[in-house]
């Protein structure tokens, strides 16, 4: 009987062969040397027929054992190899993650647009319609129908850019009130806001001849100064912070009666008193009031049935406060270094 290798020897040899395996190819060769045609294990099984019958059972057991052992060793070698290869590949792909990223060009939304949008969203959520009126309007819509007849002393206060005797650049967004009330043929209750550019013959460090106003008008039954106050409180808290309070002082505007100046808690000092609020703790931010019955009447609303309130703040200074802008002219200068700072979302 021909000598054959003991099981231990085969495994020893396999282990030593596997030690030299570096690549998948090497492994393939080893595999062939054991399990392939003419392989050590294959040859052993071929010998089965030479084994005497009474020993066949024992030999078969021995063969299975050795096959299993060889296969396991080869498989574990294979998975180790793959692991090494992956490791190698990962290692090769190592990068410096601190290098600059690849990103698209960044744009920005202008601070005034941001303030307008914030206010639009607030009022739309309360059921107000957002409307826009023309920037060139008539003297009639801008003054006469707002209870400022020709020769009215309050017309002086609004030094207006006229285009001819009838047309002008709107000095306030209030013509939107007239236009909306007139357009509403059913003369039903209204809730509108109208943001937009307005123009006045006024230009210095704190005024610009063009600025943004945000008109509001509510017409309905039993609309009162308390409703106005509650609405403006929301407005002020939204833009200037929850701690902001609102104060009414009686005043005079031809389009409202009663009229009031509206002060808010000084946004610089929080009401303690500082140079901005002249130690009063308050800053005057807008004029408002109960819509004058003449204004309602001229636009076809019955002042005995309806009342309303209107307000019309210039909102440039809100933007200035919100974003810490110190000079109103920056808003209209469009220095890229200024604009670029508005490339992110506002804080909710």
244-303: which residues touch another protein (CB under 8 A)? Answer: 246-252, 257-261, 290, 292-293
Q: Between residue 149 and residue 208, which ones bind another protein under the rule CB under 8 A? A: 150-151, 153-154, 156-157, 161-164, 167, 169, 189, 191, 197, 199, 201, 203
- CA–CA dist 242, 224 (Å, integer): 23
Which helix (H) or strand (E) segment holds residue 112: the answer is: helix 111-125
Q: Is residue 215 within 8 Å of residue 174, measured between CB atoms?
A: yes
Place of tokens 């307000």: 311
Contact call for residue 78 and another protein (CB under 8 A): no
Distance of CA 72 to the CA centre of its chain: 58
Given the complex with another protein, which of 163 and 276 has the nearer CB atom? 163
Nearest-CA neighbor of 286 among 226, 325, 347, 231?
Answer: 231
Contact call for residue 334 and another protein (CB under 8 A): yes
Given the complex with another protein, which of 135 and 182 has the nearer CB atom? 135
Q: Is residue 320 within 8 Å of residue 329, measured between CB atoms?
A: no
Contact call for residue 105 and another protein (CB under 8 A): yes
Q: Between residue 47 and residue 66, which ones bind another protein under the rule CB under 8 A? A: none
The only residue of 48, 124, 183, 276 in contact with another protein, by rule CB under 8 A? 124
Given the complex with another protein, which of 1 and 336 has the nearer CB atom? 336
Q: How far is the CB of 274 from another protein (least distance, A)?
A: 18
Q: What tokens appear for 239 in the block?
A: 């833009």
Q: How far is the CB of 30 from another protein (least distance, A)?
A: 42
Q: How far is the CB of 253 from another protein (least distance, A)?
A: 8
- CA–CA dist 218, 273 (Å, integer): 34
- CA–CA dist 267, 238 (Å, integer): 13
Contact call for residue 344 and another protein (CB under 8 A): no
Could you write out the three-class secondary structure of 202-230?
A: CCCCCCCCEEEEEEEEEEECCCCHHHHHH
Q: How far is the CB of 136 from another protein (least distance, A)?
A: 4
Given the complex with another protein, which of 112 and 239 has the nearer CB atom? 112
């Amino acid at each position: 009987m021909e000598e054959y290798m003991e099981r231990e020897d085969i495994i020893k040899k396999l282990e030593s062969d596997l030690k030299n395996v570096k690549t998948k190819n090497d492994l393939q060769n080893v595999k062939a040397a054991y399990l392939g045609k003419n392989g050590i294990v294959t040859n052993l099984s071929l010998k089965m027929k030479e084994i005497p019958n009474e020993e066949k059972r024992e030999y078969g057991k021995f063969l299975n054992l050795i096959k299993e052992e060889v296969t396991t060793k080869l498989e574990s070698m294979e998975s180790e190899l793959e692991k090494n290869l992956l490791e190698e590949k990962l290692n090769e792909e190592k990068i410096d993650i601190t290098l600059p990223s690849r990103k698209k060009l960044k744009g920005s939304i202008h601070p005034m647009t941001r303030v307008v949008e914030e206010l639009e969203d607030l009022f739309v959520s309360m059921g107000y319609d957002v409307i826009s009126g023309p920037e060139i309007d008539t003297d009639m819509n801008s003054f006469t129908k707002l209870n400022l007849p020709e020769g009215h002393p309050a017309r002086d206060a609004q030094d207006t850019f006229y285009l001819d005797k009838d047309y002008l650049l709107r000095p306030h967004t209030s013509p939107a009130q007239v236009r909306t009330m007139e357009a509403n043929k059913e003369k039903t209750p209204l809730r509108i806001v109208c943001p937009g550019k307005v123009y006045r013959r006024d230009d210095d460090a704190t005024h610009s001849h063009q600025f943004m106003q945000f008109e509001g008008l509510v017409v309905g039954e039993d609309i009162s100064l308390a409703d106005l106050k509650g609405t403006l409180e929301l407005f002020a808290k939204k833009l200037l912070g929850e701690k902001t309070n609102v104060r009414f002082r009686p005043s005079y505007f031809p389009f409202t009666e009663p009229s009031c100046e509206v002060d808010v808690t000084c946004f610089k000092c929080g009401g303690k008193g500082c140079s901005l609020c002249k130690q009063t703790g308050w800053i005057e931010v807008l004029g408002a009031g109960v819509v004058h019955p003449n204004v309602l009447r001229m636009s076809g609303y019955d002042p005995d049935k309806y009342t309303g309130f209107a307000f019309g703040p210039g909102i440039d200074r809100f933007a200035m406060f919100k974003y810490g802008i110190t000079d109103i002219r920056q808003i209209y200068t469009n220095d890229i270094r200024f604009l670029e700072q508005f490339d992110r979302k506002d804080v909710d």
